[in-house]
Amino acid sequence: MFGVEAFVFEFSTLRKLVRKPIMVKDIFMRSDTLNRLGLYLSATLFLGVASFALVGFLLLATSPRDIGAFGVTIWFLALFALFTAAITLIRYNWKRRSVPEAHERLRLFQKSLRTAVIVSLFVTVGLAMQSLRMLSMGDIILFLLTLGIIELYFRTKRHD
């Protein structure tokens, strides 16, 4: 009796796993969506490593007086890129296990990137304004409202 139940369980599990026939092109070629996702992930990782190196070098090897206004601007742009890449990769890795399909993973990456850009923009602009001693509570509220409106626009925008 135990052997028949095990066979039925294995057969039903196998049937669930093989819902469609496996094609040779599925084994040897990746889909366009997976190629695009791999490119986006690689570019994000490269951007994160490069911006980390730039921020680290400018932070440890120089001072704001030595690099001037242009160098400080480059430092804040590199910090923005570092925050964006880090938040995107962390958020994508956190949620990717729950999304089995390639096109859904691409959509998850795009959503993670959008959220990361908004959070990074808030943090970087806040740090830049604080370094210029121009940050007040009114500015923070106004900037949060602006970012909220941008996020609301992208969430309600229809994709054709």
pLDDT band for position 4 (cuts 50, 70, 90): very low
The reported pLDDT for the residue numbered 46 is 95
What's residue 99's pLDDT?
Answer: 78
The answer, yes or no, to whether residue 156 has pLDDT greater than 90, is no
Sign of CA dihedral 84, 89, 92, 94: negative
For the segment 24-72, what is each residue's pLDDT rounded down to a tens digit? 555 445 677 788 888 899 999 999 999 999 999 988 888 878 888 888 8
What confidence score (pLDDT) does residue 83 get? 95
- pLDDT band for 14, please (50, 70, 90 cuts): very low
Query: What's the pLDDT score for residue 25?
Result: 52
Pairwise CA distance, residues 104 & 85, whole Å: 20
Task: Sketch the domain layout of the chain as residue ranges.
Answer: 31-156
CA 59/CA 87 separation, integer angstroms: 21
Q: Are 76 and 67 spatial neighbours (Cβ–Cβ below 8 Å)?
A: no
pLDDT value at 17 more than 80: no
Q: Count CB neighbours of 88 within 10 A.
A: 27
State how far the Cα of 7 lies from the Cα of 87, in Å rounded to an integer.
46
Q: Between 151 and 83, where is the model more confident?
A: 83
Q: What pLDDT digit, counting tens, does each position of 85-140 carry?
A: 999 999 999 988 887 777 788 888 988 998 899 999 988 988 888 887 877 888 88
